[in-house]
Amino acid sequence: MELRQLKAEEYEQSVSLSEYAFQYTLTPEQKEKRKERFKPEQFWGIFEEEELQAKLTILPFKVYLQGKVVPMGGIAGVATWPENRRKGHVSKLLSQALMVMKEEGQILSFLHPFSIPFYRKYGWELYAEYKNYLISSKQFPPKLEYPGKVVRDVEDISTLNKLYQSFASSYHGTLVRDEEWWKYSVLDNTKHSAVYYSHGGEPQGYVLYELKDKMLVCNEFVYLNEEARGALWTFFSNHDSRIEQVKLTMVPADDILPYMLPDPRITQETIPYFMGRIVDVESFLQQFTFEAGNRSELTIQIDDHAAPWNAGLWNISIDDQGQAKIIKVMGEKEETQPDLIADIQVWTALFLGFKRPAQLFHIQKLKGKPQKAKEFEHLIPQAQTLLMDFF
């Protein structure tokens, strides 16, 4: 058995495994198109006699965290032939991926799970969810007069991306999109777009949507202010002769649109979405900003069998500006008693802002000294996670 990166000439083997594992078939034209963008250095595989047995992809992304941009390794395309299941191939690939991401400085890793329990075993945890709304035309927000204008089918990526950046950077875990990602992963799957421009000509919001079966399906609704939100909803409402419903997907978990509707009894669902994990705890905490004005010192214990460099006791000293010094405590655990104890999954959910320390302590996922848990609750800034993309 050999574990290594793929070579350019192994593209066909990679495609064949993906088609079988994920149950789709590419046309010859689609294969050629993907081959042009194939980057073998991003693919890791397990081979036996030069035959690909299992593989995964590490995508070099950047994400927003606390308004800053940090490197993230996106795990995608994890696949193995059925005759190779339960041989430990995926486990070996994930272990390799964690080492590679650490070496590349990717302090976080995200993936879309086929099985949440499976990836929890390797330290990934749910970090993002989204809401779907189904709103009948009778329940639409009231139409408004607005001072600007809505322009349909805007294809200027720079305009869309500027709006996206302003919106996405206020959340934790949203993807930093480059032009290639917009072109091939966002707009390539989009039927229509519309941008709201203020009276002064400034873009202030956009929607990506399609019309089908008397329904308007909106996959991204981005707005910088209530004027833009109201204008874009009025634009949707002006389709009332063609549609009976609007379906909003990828709605942030903190959205309060139903409360704003005249009739808030709409169909809503919350979807657990992507999983994340801290790849390198020391590097992550060096970039993390705690609440200012809360000087503190505590020792935490991290359990992480898949990334042993994270496991153990860590002393964290936080200054008045919320910056931390992190030192790994060497020696036997019995010599230093931790203030708080959790596995890497819990620490990931906590630091990304998906769950609060008090919540996790209450359900005994975070353990330790009650007073330190209360103290930690005031040290972690309030945050909301979101991911509007798929990979």
Q: At what angle do helices 28-36 and 11-22 cross, to 10 degrees?
A: 120
- pLDDT tens sequence across 308-365: 999 999 999 999 999 999 999 986 655 789 999 999 999 999 999 999 999 999 999 9
3-state helix, strand, coil in the chain (%, to 5): 30, 35, 35
Task: Give the C-alpha separation, 330 to 164, whole Å.
Answer: 44
Q: Hey, what long-range contacts does 64-68 have (CB within 8 A, 24 or more apart)? A: 64/168, 64/169, 64/171, 64/172, 64/173, 64/174, 64/176, 65/108, 65/172, 65/173, 65/287, 65/288, 65/352, 66/172, 66/288, 66/289, 66/381, 66/383, 67/169, 67/170, 68/287
The count of C-alpha atoms lying within 13 angstroms of the C-alpha of 262, restricted to the half-sphere facing its C-beta, is 8
Residue predicted with more confidence, 309 or 241? 309
Residues 21, 210, 134, CA angle at the centre, nearest 5°? 90
Determine the Cα–Cα distance for residues 78 and 55; give it in Å rounded to an integer: 6
Per-residue pLDDT for 220 more than 90?
A: yes
Confidence (pTM):
0.94
Burial class, 47, CB count within 10 angstroms (exposed 0-12 / middle 13-18 / buried 19+): middle
- φ and ψ at residue 133, rounded to 5 degrees: -120, 145
Residue 336 is predicted with a pLDDT of 82
pLDDT of 294 reads 83
Domains of the chain by range and CATH? 2-106 (3.40.630.30), 131-272 (3.40.630.30), 282-379 (3.30.1050.10)
Task: Tell me if residue 176 falls in helix, strand or coil.
Answer: coil
d(Cα 296, Cα 33) in Å, to the nearest integer?
54
Residue 156 has pLDDT above 60, yes or no: yes
pLDDT attached to residue 278: 98
Tell me how long the chain is.
391
Q: Looking at residues 376-384, what average pLDDT do you find?
A: 97
170 pLDDT above the threshold of 60: yes
Q: Identify the CA nearest to 273 among candidates 344, 157, 173.
A: 173
How confident is the prediction for the chain on average, in pLDDT?
Answer: 96
- CB–CB of 3/44 below 8 Å? yes
Reply yes or no on whether the pLDDT at 124 is more than 60: yes
| Cα–Cα distance measured from residue 241 to residue 18, given in angstroms and rounded to the nearest whole number | 42
- The predicted-structure confidence for 42-99, as pLDDT tens digits, reads as follows 999 999 999 999 999 999 999 999 999 999 999 999 999 999 888 999 999 999 999 9
Task: Indicate if the alpha-carbon torsion angle 313, 319, 321, 325 is positive or negative.
Answer: negative
**48, 24 in Cβ contact below 8 A?**
no
Q: Is the pLDDT of residue 184 over 70?
A: yes
Predicted pLDDT at 120 = 98
